[in-house]
Amino acid sequence: MSSFDISKYREMFLEESVELFESADNVLLEAENNGTLNDEEMGQLFRDVHTLKGSGASVELKLFAEFTHDVENMMDKLRNHQIEFQPEMVDTLMAGLDVMKELLELEVAEELTRETFTEMTQDLLIEIRKYINGEAPSSSEPKQVTSQPVQNEKTSSTQASNPSNSLGQSYGFFKEELNGTSSNDFDTQPYGFFDETIINLNDESDNFGFFDDDLQMSAFNSGSKEAKRVQQEETDDSDFFDDMPELDPNSKIEQINNHIASSNSATPQQQAASAAGAKKAADRTKEKTVATTNNIRVNLDKIDLLMNNVGDLVITNAMLTQFTTTIEDSKTRVSVLERLDLLERHIRDMQDSIMSIRMVPMESIYSKFPKVVRDISKKLGKKVEFKHYGDNVEIDKAMIEGLTDPLMHIIRNSLDHGLETPEERVKSGKDEVGFITISAEQANGQMIITIEDNGRGINADKVAQKAFDNGLIDENQLASMSANDKAMLVFGAGVSTADKITDISGRGVGMDVVKTNIQKLGGAIRLDTAVGVGTTITIVLPLTLAILDGLDIAVGTHKYILPLSSIVESLQPTTDMIKRIGDGTQDLLMLREEFIPVVKVYKLFGIEPKYRKIEDGMLIVVKSGNMKVALFIDEFLHQHQVVVKPLDKNFRSVEGIGAATVRGDGSIGLILDILGIINAQKKVEKQHIKEAQKAS
């Protein structure tokens, strides 16, 4: 098979491996918290690692599969109760998963040598193999270099005496029968996707690789070589390529009878527990099978292309509607317009369907954090409880990549800077276990994500001083800022409150990236903190970047699109509602005892308006996060759905303009960026303050 084909299948495996690693990590995290590992969890662990090994070998990741085989053996012993679970095993197994991830990354990049492999795995393999042999690992014992799977005497002798039963056949993508082969050398044993002899009669190993559904067949009816591999998963002391003895077709029945006999000797309570566990495992297997059958992986680019095609339909429909108004015969015109209205409804339904495909639950982001919290808290000697809410709240798949890194930075920061050590917490009258909570909800057409900790809070003065030292603010700004404004400076470049640099944080690069990435997603970030109490960070995002409901507004001869989700209300102001401050250049809208800055859109974009007097035009109050401004425009027109087209690929960014769309007449419509407009207004206010200070 060509390297191109291999790389394609490796990419498929890498996607699958992310889910499998997360599944195994989460099971082990539960085991660490509970101090136990039940049969169902042991079976899940085995299936995850078994699939990683089999699929990894299928795409010729030999060293990855070699090490994974030992981890699988340990998990196989656990699930078969040949060794008893001990809480300290969790650390070894989690370390094994971490090494597997590193090996996978290096081998896919073709940067993994045998020497590097041995260096990375030898100490851990000693621990794993001692557990497999029922021994307790001792850190005082000398470490030995071991790079090949351990083989037992029984297995070796079986292979030597019965070469015809050997699994040393070539299991490539297209299986070849090689008579007389009986090698145990891992490097000569490629496993293939389409190996017809890979069978799976063990219910607990229902997910061998990518194409398992096609590989399940009955070995008992064929009486052929397939039968020789039925018991491979069940053999606790076999090597990856051990020969299987001839299997009598009735052996499975005998095993079942033995199991029934042993069950009859158990107590009623034990039988009930066993039956309940078996039913639960069967239900999970059934759910997993249904999910696998009903789901396919689709590249997001294909969905984007589909969305663009639907956008073209929207534009074409609008063009036809506009053209229809020129039809002179009123009866014909009305008839065509009715049909175009029906077409528009169908197109809207299609847009909604595509959007539902793009949406994924927040759980897909949350699943990455428990392991990070566990590893960092152990490293820092802190006790942390991680909680998450809103797992089923959905977000646009395209936003996940841009959101995961900022959230990871925030959580790492909370662990390092926010939460205190158990000793510090007890001294200050707190519980020694701190918490970090992340929650998500949808409100007013926006996604609101909150990250909260009950740590030491942020020293706002220290942050402000660091920002001042870095030249981000001047003395006048420092003197006039509120405590929360000072704390927000932690999102400035190079600002860090860390006393020393660690491999976790402290370089001042991270929180500025957080703010930048959130703004790229069209969102806003807010920080609330209290010293000794904790910190809450709130992120507000649009639900999707692909499509939005917009309101057409007019300023002079120009038309812009305002996202409906950002609109609070619209009004035609009276004279008593407008207050002027300073030298009369800044207007404020007084609305229900709240003062809201007025932004004159015609001034912002340098265009000639229809009205210059605020009372003659319209005000639309908009918000981003907890910030509000009132946009002064000439008039608002009608609302409609628009397909968002980014501008940054072809044009330089313009403050106040976020994206564009194509209108029904084929012209380009500019979509206003509310956060950009608010930031522009802040700059104007700061300039007015500076001028007033100079004048005084």
Residue carrying structure tokens 């501008």: 647
Contacts 24+ apart (CB under 8 A), 259-263: none
pLDDT band (50, 70, 90) for residue 580: confident
Who wins on pLDDT, 246 or 603?
A: 603
* Beta strands across the sheet bearing 433-443: 383-389, 433-443, 446-453, 534-542, 524-530
Task: Give the highest mean pLDDT range of 147-151, 161-165, 310-314, 642-646.
Answer: 310-314
Most confident of 138-147, 222-231, 240-249, 320-329: 320-329
Q: Phi-psi category of 659—alpha, beta or left, where left has phi over 0 and alpha has psi -120 to 50?
A: beta
pTM over 0.95: no
Residue 54, phi then psi, degrees to nearest 5: -65, -45
Residue in 363, 355, 350, 362 with CA at minimum distance from that of residue 300: 355
- What pLDDT was estimated at residue 563? 87
Residues 572-577: what's their mean pLDDT? 88
Longest dimension (CA), the chain: 102
Position of tokens 């044009």?
Answer: 651
What is residue 272's predicted lDDT score, i.e. its pLDDT? 52
Average pLDDT value for residue range 683-692: 71
Q: Are 307 and 643 in contact (CB under 8 A)?
A: yes
Identify the weakest region by mean pLDDT among 52-61, 294-303, 365-374, 615-624: 294-303
Please report, rounded to a whole number, the percentage of residues in the chain having pLDDT higher than 70. Answer: 71
pLDDT of residue 607 exceeding 80: yes
Element (H, E) at 640: strand 635-643
For 569-630, what is the HEC assignment?
EEECCCHHHEEEECCCCEEEEEECCEEEEEEEHHHHHCCCCCCCCHHHCEEEEEEECCEEEE
Q: What is the pLDDT of residue 240?
A: 36
Q: State mean pLDDT over 297-326.
A: 81
- pLDDT, tens digit, for every residue of 189-208? 333 333 333 333 334 444 43
SS3 206: coil
* Backbone φ, ψ for residue 205 (5° rounding): -120, 60
DSSP-H helix ranges across 489-578: 511-520
Choose among 149, 144, 199, 141: nearest CA to 171: 199
Share of the chain above pLDDT 90, in %: 18
- Which has more pLDDT, 315 or 271? 315
DSSP annotation string for 420-473: PPHHHHHHTT--SEEEEEEEEEEETTEEEEEEEE-SS---HHHHHHHHHHTTSS
pLDDT tens-digit series, residues 488-525: 888 876 666 555 555 555 444 467 788 888 888 878 88
pLDDT at 352 over 90: no
